[in-house]
C-alpha cells in the first residue's frame, strides 16, 4: 500500500494543498515500510522547510525507516543524532532522545557519543554534560571516542580546565589513549597556557 500512499501525497501537492503533520508522518511510514530511509529523511527535511514541526510520532517513524533498512535502531539513532549536530538542530537532538526514551530503546556507547558530540558542536555544553552523566548513570561504558569528544568539545568552547579533567578521568579509567586524544589534550594545554598568559597580562 505504500505506493498508493506516495501517489496520494503527490496528488495532494499537485492540487495546491499543503501537507500537514499527519500527511508527512504517513509518508515517513510508507518509506519506512519500503526500506527507503534516505527518502524518509528527504521528507523529514521537507517538513522542516515547510515549517511543519515534527512530533514524537514523526521521529519514531523516521527511526523505524532506518531500522527497516537493516540498521539496528541504536545505530539509526546514532546516525540521526550526528546529522542533527551537523545541521545545527538542538531541538531535533532533544526530540530524537525523547523518542528513544519513549520506546525504551537503551542507547549504546556510539549513540551517546553522537549525542554528546552533537550538543557540543552546537555549543550546548550543559546538555552535553547531562547526557554524559546519564550515560555513566546507566552504566554504559565510555570509550576513547567519548573522551575525545568531551576533551576537544570542551576545548573549543574555551573550557580548558574542564577538558583536562576529562583527560584525568580517562586516565583513571585506564582507557587506551588514541592519537586523536593526544592531539586534543595537547591543544587544551596550549590554549590554557595562552589563556592564562593573556589573563595575567604583560606587566604582571
The helix/strand count (H/E) of the chain reads as: 11, 0
pTM of the model: 0.69
CA 56 to mean position of chain CA atoms: 16
CB atoms within 10 A of CB 185: 21
pLDDT of residue 72: 61
Domain match, 34 and 115 both? yes
Sort 204 into a burial class: Cβ within 10 Å, 0-12 / 13-18 / 19+.
Answer: exposed
Q: Cα(192)–Cα(156) distance, rounded to whole angstroms?
A: 11
Domain match, 20 and 91 both? yes
Number of domains the chain contains = 2
Parent domain of 164: 142-204
pLDDT of residue 197: 67
Domain match, 36 and 115 both? yes
Domain match, 172 and 75 both? no
Domain match, 25 and 123 both? yes
Q: Which residues in the chain land under pLDDT 70?
A: 1-3, 5-6, 68-73, 86-88, 195-204
Amino acid at each position: 500500500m505504500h505506493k498508493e500512499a506516495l501517489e496520494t501525497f503527490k496528488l495532494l501537492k499537485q492540487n495546491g494543498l499543503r501537507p500537514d503533520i499527519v500527511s508527512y508522518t504517513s509518508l515517513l511510514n510508507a518509506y519506512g515500510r519500503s526500506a527507503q530511509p534516505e527518502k524518509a529523511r528527504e521528507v523529514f527535511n521537507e517538513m522542516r522547510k515547510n515549517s511543519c514541526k515534527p512530533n514524537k510520532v514523526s521521529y519514531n517513524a523516521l527511526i523505524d525507516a532506518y531500522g527497516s533498512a537493516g540498521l539496528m535502531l541504536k545505530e539509526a539513532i546514532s546516525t540521526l543524532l550526528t546529522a542533527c549536530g551537523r545541521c545545527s538542530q538542538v531541538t531535533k537532538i532533544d526530540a530524537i532522545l525523547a523518542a528513544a526514551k519513549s520506546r525504551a530503546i537503551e542507547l549504546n556507547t556510539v549513540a551517546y557519543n553522537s549525542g554528546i558530540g552533537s550538543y557540543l558542536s552546537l555549543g550546548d555544553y550543559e546538555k552535553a554534560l547531562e547526557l554524559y552523566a546519564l550515560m555513566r548513570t546507566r552504566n554504559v561504558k565510555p570509550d576513547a571516542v567519548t573522551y575525545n569528544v568531551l576533551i576537544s568539545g570542551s576545548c573549543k568552547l574555551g573550557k580548558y580546565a574542564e577538558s583536562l579533567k576529562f583527560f584525568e578521568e580517562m586516565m583513571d579509567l585506564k582507557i587506551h589513549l588514541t592519537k586523536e586524544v593526544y592531539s586534543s589534550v595537547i591543544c587544551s594545554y596550549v590554549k590554557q597556557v595562552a589563556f592564562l598568559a593573556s589573563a595575567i597580562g604583560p606587566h604582571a
